Amino acid sequence: MTATDSPPDAGSLDATLDAAALAERVEQFLAEHDPSTTEPVEFLRARFAAGLAWVHYPAGLGGLGAENGLQAAVDAAFEAAGAPENKPRLNVIGLGMAAPTILRFGTEEQQQRWLPSLWTGEDIWCQLFSEPGAGSDLAGLATSAVRDGDEWVVNGQKVWTSMAHHARWGILVARTDPEAPKHRGLTYFVVDMSAPGVEVRGLRQITGEAEFNEVFMTDVRIPDDQRLGEVGQGWAVAQYTLMNERVAIGGGTLPRESGAAGALAARWREHPEARTPGLHDRMLRLWVQAEAARLTAERLGQQQAAGQPGPEGSGVKITYARLNQECSSLELELRGEDGLRYPDYTERRPEVEDYGSRDAGWRYLRFRANSIEGGTSEILRNVVAERVLGLPAEARADKDVPWKDLPR
């Protein structure tokens, strides 16, 4: 697969791999690799090699070229057998964003180099996109990458970098041509987070934790063979990553009554004394909206697995943020005066955790970020308006102006 090839289309799918055939493969694999006696990493490596990691990916890259939509049954069979997981919460950026981008734009050597250890969870990934002066206007970023022989020398600062303190690799967009308009002078790289010149500093959040980071890069050298896509193609590659991110954040396949809606429903059932007619109406409305969003997200998740994340993911991510915030607000209201208490404001460096396992006050504070991370809701409404509804684009006076001439 070359750097510009797409994931396998319907013509390259193995039509013989239906649900029954995959179930038989899983059963045979489990007979040969007992989860209770096999080391977790060895089990995961063997599962990847057998093509049962991402069954819709090409053979040799963790998949079998199977039809999209069959992965859920495979995952369920492994879970029922007690198979080890691959750190899906900690490595959500790697699994949901980096992997599909590497598959779409990476060379064969890059795919073989990064995908196995990414899927097994041996290597955690982070995303180096946003900057202090380039968040919603990502194309205005200033981090520079200057060619020096077979390497690029990178200098700049990134911010809001989730899990950078755990990450082995980072996906990075940097400016390689300041003479070009801002969208055209960008290039996409993979950076070694342990390389000299990379410094990660925690950012304490309103919850008291430091899940996010700022990352400083000073004369960081990146070999050219760690570039994804062509020089100057960074915006197109980044857009593909971002579409996958919005589906990954808002479009994960979840069971009914999970997440914020599940926590709210549990609180409602456990405390009937807090119910009033007005709150009952709000509760029902939020539950129905959450279920509609969950089913829509499941469909978009299948599109993402097929390499077609689409701009519709922006709408799902907007809904996800709004529902999380409204559900956590109602949950806190149901707690009455107890909702004013916050259990622990100790600064710590967490892994990504199950929101449902945390205190209601923590959820209420943490969900404030949902309408910012992964693209602000304001920007995503523009994406939906222009790319889904076909409305006229906003006037952009800086579209053809060289980046170096833009006011900053």
CATH number for the domain that contains residue 221? 2.40.110.10
Residue 353 pLDDT grade (very low, low, confident, very high; cuts 50, 70, 90): low
Inside any domain, residue 401: no
Return the residue matching tokens 């202090």. 132
Domain boundary among 237, 256, 288: 237
Inside any domain, residue 399: no
pLDDT tops 90 at residue 86: yes
Do 80 and 132 have their domain in common?
no
Domain tally, the chain: 3
Residue 9 pLDDT grade (very low, low, confident, very high; cuts 50, 70, 90): very low
pLDDT attached to residue 114: 98
Do 270 and 228 have their domain in common?
no
pLDDT tops 50 at residue 1: no
pLDDT attached to residue 6: 41
- Greater confidence (206 vs 223) lies with 223
pLDDT tops 80 at residue 251: no
Domain boundary among 237, 252, 286: 237
185 close to 232: Cβ distance less than 8 angstroms:
yes
Q: Residue 146's closest CA among 175, 170, 167, 166?
A: 175
Q: Residue 165's closest CA among 129, 205, 125, 197?
A: 125
Do 263 and 379 have their domain in common?
yes
Residue 352 pLDDT grade (very low, low, confident, very high; cuts 50, 70, 90): low
Which of the listed ranges 229-238, 282-291, 325-334, 378-387 does the model predict with the highest average pLDDT? 229-238
Do 218 and 246 have their domain in common?
no
Helix (H, G, I), strand (E, B) or coil at 123: coil
**Amino acid identity for residue 99 in this structure:** A
pLDDT attached to residue 145: 98
Inside any domain, residue 2: no
Do 230 and 129 have their domain in common?
yes
Catalytic residue flag (residue 351):
no
- Greater confidence (262 vs 353) lies with 262
Inside any domain, residue 91: no
pLDDT attached to residue 374: 74
Write down the pTM of the prediction.
Answer: 0.83
Residue 24 domain boundaries = 10-85
Least confident segment among 98-102, 295-299, 401-405: 295-299
Q: Name the catalytic one among 245, 312, 326, 331.
A: 245
pLDDT, average across residues 220-227: 98
- Greater confidence (298 vs 293) lies with 293
Residue 249 — φ and ψ, nearest 5°? -75, -50
Mean pLDDT of all residues belonging to the chain: 87
pLDDT, average across residues 31-54: 97
pLDDT, average across residues 354-383: 82
d(CA 238, CA 260): 29
Which of the listed ranges 45-54, 362-371, 396-405 does the model predict with the highest average pLDDT? 45-54
d(CA 55, CA 46): 14
- Model confidence pLDDT, tens digit, residues 110-151: 999 999 999 999 999 999 999 998 877 899 999 999 999 999
